[in-house]
Structure 1
Amino acid sequence: MTGSLTAARAMAAAAARLRAAGVADPARDARLLLAHAARIDAARVTLIAPEELSPEIAERYEQLVSLRAIRVPVSHLTGEREFYGRRFKISGEVLDPRPETETLIEAALSEPFARVLDLGVGSGCILVTLLAERAQATGLGVDISEAACLQASANAVLHGVAERAEIRRSDWLSDVAGRFDLIVSNPPYIALDEMAGLDEEVRRHEPELALTDGGDGLGAYRRIADGVMRHLAPGGRLLVEIGPTQVAAVIALFAQAGLVDIGIVQDLDGRDRVIRARRG
């Protein structure tokens, strides 16, 4: 790529390069990276397509495409990821928000809530989204990672919910007080022996702490089940994202904890994605 190339030709060359590198959606990524290099909104890329790239933009684009070709995630290169219609600041210290997690958001928003707890808050995408969608609600997000707490706090400020969101370092429920009518979590659910089979992009660039418990993948659910009844208000709901093989095990843990009305919420692809439960 050189400054003499039009934006359209540069994108085409980038897409071909990313396709050869095995990137799943090369055209999309080429467009997003060009928008970032040119410091414009992705929706405006088609407007600059006939224009020649300046040497500065071409150089930035070359660097971004080179990094994407070795499978550095787009969100890590641009520093942000869209989730439920909002852009969240992202770093290598937190799990990259997935579209599938929007299933949990939809389930949470299906009933009213006033006070929400997000266990393993990460980037803050779940807690911040729920507070942004429910202007009267307040919430607490906890994470064992101090870096994640800082990232979640930044996103709370970015989306104007910081006054209603408390972010605190805690090992699951260890330092949580009070009761909530909604508790949510997207915990690390990949078993240690499954890590080697993950996509290289995830394995190399996502924080291991957010992916696996270092055991059978059920450790977080056990911790949640052990303490959830002390923190759920009567009638309060618990919603957790799960791995594809964990439905029966998580349901059993929650039933043993005394939760009722336990059920499964499927994502848009028809896969079991969220377990819902309630305190009687």
Structure 2
Amino acid sequence: MYKINSNNYTELADKTVNSLLDWGTNYLTKGNIEDAALNAELLLGHLLNYSRSDIRINYKRRLNTNLIIKYKSLIYRRIKNEPLQYIQGGTEFMGLWLKVDKRVFIPRPETELLVEKVLEICNNKKDKKYYLLDIGTGSGNIPVAVAHKCSNVLIDAVDIDKNALKVAEENIKRYRLSKRIKCIHQDIFNYNNKILLEKYDIIVSNPPYIPYVEYLDLAPEIRKYEPAKACTDCADGLTFYSKIIDLSKFILKEGGTCLVEIGYGQSKKVSDIFSEGGLKNIKIYKDLNKHDRIVSGIK
């Protein structure tokens, strides 16, 4: 690993924003971090509370020693493969800034498609009240995005991890959605009447779908930092889909929709699980990279 001497300033041409940005880019490049320049810029912007345009406007601003030390510590964390989003303390999802840390899986842009498909259903009849269940809510990104953009939805957000739910609750409160989103601590493989008493119009989930053999080969910033149980089922990646469909038999209303995010090469198997579980009108949606990403079905 490329090491940083945080007290050595001889590497800096001067103490300006531009010089520090060049320094950060150089170190991240030597540390084999992808998109080194972008990472260096985003970390400096995070430290200074600057947008990317602010950095360009203030490139001649001289920084004090304390700020330089703090920036170097951020660069050091990134070189150790800590995800940029954890260092920043948050990420953008559907135009919303959400808190994330090591307690939760980092929301990916691909999941925005899942939210968009849910919104299409909820916006179809704006005078109807929809009841939605999000299984494995993590940071709460899906319910927060849905509730923020659609006022006719009430959501139960379920997760097995109490610590993850604390993050979700912070994001829910940030956007003042506590009256419409309820967090529930629940293991869906050992469920009780906390959710079985409800009937939902929509069940949505971005479950741990990475097969364990593939998980072992993932990038270090995923394996070393993101919660393993949010990434993989420690099996073939299909465990949660079968359980979700099993649950849908009891808690999904007739005519209700189940939508899930899937991994590469899983569309056929997940579609079969949906079909065998009694769902109809099964559809597969592709993401921007033309990969099958969402499977939906109607009860």
Indicate conservation of the 8 Å contact 1:120/1:172, yes or no: no
Residue 110 of structure 1 is matched in structure 2 by 120
RMSD: 1.5
**Structure 1 alignment gaps of length 5 or more:** none
Match of 1:185 in 2: 205
Return the alpha-carbon distance in structure 2 between the equivalents of residues 70 and 205 of structure 1: 10
State which drifts further: 134-143 or 38-47. Answer: 38-47
From 243, 262, 275, give the equivalent of 1:255.
Answer: 275
Partner residue in 2 for 1:90: 100
Within-5 A mapping of 1:204-243: 204-243=224-263
2:29 to 19, 24, 35: 19
Greater Cα offset, 13-22 or 216-225: 13-22
Correspondence for 1:51: 61
Shift of 1:219: 0.8
In structure 2, C-alpha distance between the alignment counterparts of 1:217 and 1:9, rounded to whole Å? 46
- Write the deviation string for residues 127-152 of structure 1: whole angstroms up to 9, x where unpaired: 11000010221101000000111111
Residue in 2 that maps onto 1:142: 158
Q: Kindly report structure 1 stretches of 4+ aligned residues shifted beyond 2 Å.
A: 1-4, 39-48
Whether the 8 Å CA contact 1:142–1:170 is kept in 2: the answer is: yes
Distance 1:43 1:196 in 2: 39
Moved more, 173-182 or 148-157: 173-182
CA distance in 1, matches of 2:36, 2:139: 25
Give the Cα–Cα distance (whole angstroms) in 1 for the partners of residues 85 and 235 of structure 2.
Answer: 28
Report how far residue 39 of structure 1 moved: 3.2
Counterpart-to-counterpart distance in 1, 2:175 and 2:39: 25
**Counterpart residue identity of residue 263, structure 1:** K
Deviation for aligned residue 1:172: 2.2
Alignment equivalent of 2:177, drawn from 148, 161, 165: 161
- Amino-acid identity (%): 32
Q: Which residue of 1 aligns with 2:3?
A: none
Pairing of 1:26-41 with structure 2 (within 5 A): 26-41=36-51
Q: Which structure would you say has the larger Rg?
A: 2
What residue ranges of structure 2 are gaps of 5+ in the alignment? 1-7, 123-128
Q: Indicate if the aligned counterparts of 1:73 and 1:201 stay in contact, CA closer than 8 A.
A: yes
**TM-score scaled to structure 1, two decimals?**
0.95
Name which of 101, 107, 131 aligns with 2:111.
101
CA distance in 2, matches of 1:11, 1:155: 31
In structure 1, what residue type is equivalent to 2:140? G
**Match of residue 275 from structure 1:** 295
Alpha-carbon distance in 1 for matches of 2:18, 2:249: 56
d(CA) in 2 for partners of 1:24 and 1:46?
A: 21
TM-score, normalising length: structure 2? 0.89
